[in-house]
């Protein structure tokens, strides 16, 4: 009995140590099992869900370590499939409308671009180009930026497709925190119809430039759009049309006007507007990204004042001279008509200086 009771404390201590060891082993085992079969699979599912939420709808969840995870994977895949079906339904609806509309979207962190089936058709992409632009969002971004350089003057969000001068699209984008959503509408037929009507109504029949009304309408559109560019109105008056008419005849006078129109249009380029205001007067609406570029255009006009030639109907070359006056639109907060009047006053002053330089007095036109 003495020996039996003497070992009780030691046996209790050994029992306690065994229980602690067993509990520790079970804890480590259970933790490893939870980490391996639960935490790790949850981490895998979270990673796939993150890619899905970033726009990669081709991602599939396939975790089969337990019946619950297998069911969860199936439900997630069915949900993603439903989203894909909705996108296909939207593409189907858009494809059945009379309007040629396409939609694209790309996200930060996702290389692939989502787009409806009409996007390649609207942009005129081949199969190789479609794979190239939709396979990497950087390629699509570069294409859109190049497209923006072909903006139609006087139109809001309307662009000419590079390499296809007779194709026009309207592009509108919505920028969110990590994604860009774009809607593209093929407006080629509408633009061609409008351009035909406006050309017949707003074009000077002799020079094929805008007439007074056509210029005024387009300038109003540009100013309303407010692109943030720098603008100027330039009034041009030919100096020697009367002498050409008296010397060579009115047919040569018309050719003199046509030559002036070609010279002015070449200097103005695609970024501005050139119009015949009537008789021997022209109006230029210059639009450039910076004031420096605008002043460079004005310098080209000043250089052309006394260095140009007109080719008459019989092939004879005669000097072509003109006076000019300019008004920067950002210098005055006034309507277009008032700016035009200021440019006209500046032009008349320039004509007076040029006439006095050659010993002639100008007569103010009524």
Nearest to 278 by CA among 343, 152, 366: 366
Q: For strands 101-107 and 273-278, give the pairing.
A: unpaired
State how far the Cα of 110 lies from the Cα of 222, in Å rounded to an integer: 37
State how far the Cα of 341 lies from the Cα of 185, in Å rounded to an integer: 39
CATH topology of domain 203-357: Alpha-Beta Plaits (3.30.70)
What pLDDT, on the 0 to 100 scale, is given for residue 362? 40
Residue 365 vs residues 72, 239, 273, 326, 362: alpha-carbon distances, Å:
85, 12, 24, 18, 9
Which tens digits make up the pLDDT trace of 216-230?
Answer: 888 888 877 766 678
Domain coordinates of the chain in residue numbers? 97-189, 203-357
CATH class of 97-189: alpha beta
Residue 42 vs residues 45, 53, 101: alpha-carbon distances, Å:
5, 16, 41
Q: Are 123 and 139 in contact (CB under 8 A)?
A: no
Q: Are 312 and 318 in contact (CB under 8 A)?
A: yes
Comparing 97-189 with 203-357, is the CATH topology the same? Answer: no
> How far, rounded to the nearest angstrom, does the alpha carbon of residue 358 sit from its chain's CA centroid?
49
What pLDDT, on the 0 to 100 scale, is given for residue 361? 43
Which tens digits make up the pLDDT trace of 77-98?
Answer: 777 676 666 566 566 555 555 5
CB-side exposure of 60: number of CA atoms within 13 Å?
4
pTM confidence score: 0.51
Those residues of the chain that have pLDDT short of 70 are: 4, 34-38, 41, 51-58, 65-66, 80, 82-99, 154, 226-228, 330-334, 358-366
361's tokens: 């007095």
Residue 189 vs residues 100, 185, 195, 196, 201: alpha-carbon distances, Å:
11, 11, 10, 11, 18
What pLDDT, on the 0 to 100 scale, is given for residue 332? 44
Q: Are 285 and 219 in contact (CB under 8 A)?
A: yes
């Amino acid at each position: 009995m003495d020996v039996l009771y003497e070992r009780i404390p030691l046996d209790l201590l050994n029992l306690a140590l065994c229980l602690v060891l067993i509990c520790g082993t079970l804890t480590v085992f259970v933790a490893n099992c939870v980490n391996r079969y639960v935490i790790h699979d949850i981490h895998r599912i979270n990673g796939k869900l993150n890619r899905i939420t970033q726009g990669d709808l081709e991602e599939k969840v396939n975790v089969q370590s337990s019946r619950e995870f297998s069911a969860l994977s199936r439900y997630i895949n069915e949900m993603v499939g439903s989203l894909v079906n909705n996108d296909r339904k939207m593409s189907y609806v858009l494809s059945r409308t009379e309007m040629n509309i396409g939609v694209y979207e790309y996200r930060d962190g996702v290389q692939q671009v989502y787009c409806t089936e009409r996007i390649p058709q609207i942009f005129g992409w081949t199969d190789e180009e479609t794979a190239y632009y939709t396979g990497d969002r950087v390629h699509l971004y570069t294409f859109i930026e190049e497209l923006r350089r072909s903006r139609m003057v006087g139109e809001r969000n309307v662009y000419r497709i590079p390499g296809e001068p007779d194709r026009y699209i309207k592009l509108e984008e919505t920028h969110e925190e990590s994604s860009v959503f774009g809607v593209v509408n093929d407006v080629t037929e509408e633009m061609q119809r409008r351009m035909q009507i406006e050309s017949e109504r707003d074009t000077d029949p002799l020079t094929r430039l805008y007439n007074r009304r056509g210029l005024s309408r387009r300038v109003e559109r540009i100013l309303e759009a407010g692109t943030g560019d720098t603008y100027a109105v330039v009034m041009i008056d030919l100096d020697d049309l009367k002498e050409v008419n008296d010397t060579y005849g009115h047919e040569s006078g018309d050719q003199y006007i046509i030559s002036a129109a070609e010279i002015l249009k070449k200097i103005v380029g695609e970024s501005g507007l050139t119009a015949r205001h009537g008789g021997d007067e022209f109006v230029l609406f210059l639009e450039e990204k910076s004031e420096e570029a605008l002043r460079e255009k004005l310098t080209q006009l000043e250089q052309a004042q006394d260095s140009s030639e007109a080719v008459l109907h019989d092939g004879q070359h005669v000097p072509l001279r003109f006076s000019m006056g300019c008004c920067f639109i950002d210098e005055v907060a006034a309507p277009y008509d008032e700016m035009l009047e200021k440019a006209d006053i500046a032009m008349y002053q320039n004509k007076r200086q040029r006439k006095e330089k050659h010993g002639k007095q100008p007569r103010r036109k009524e």
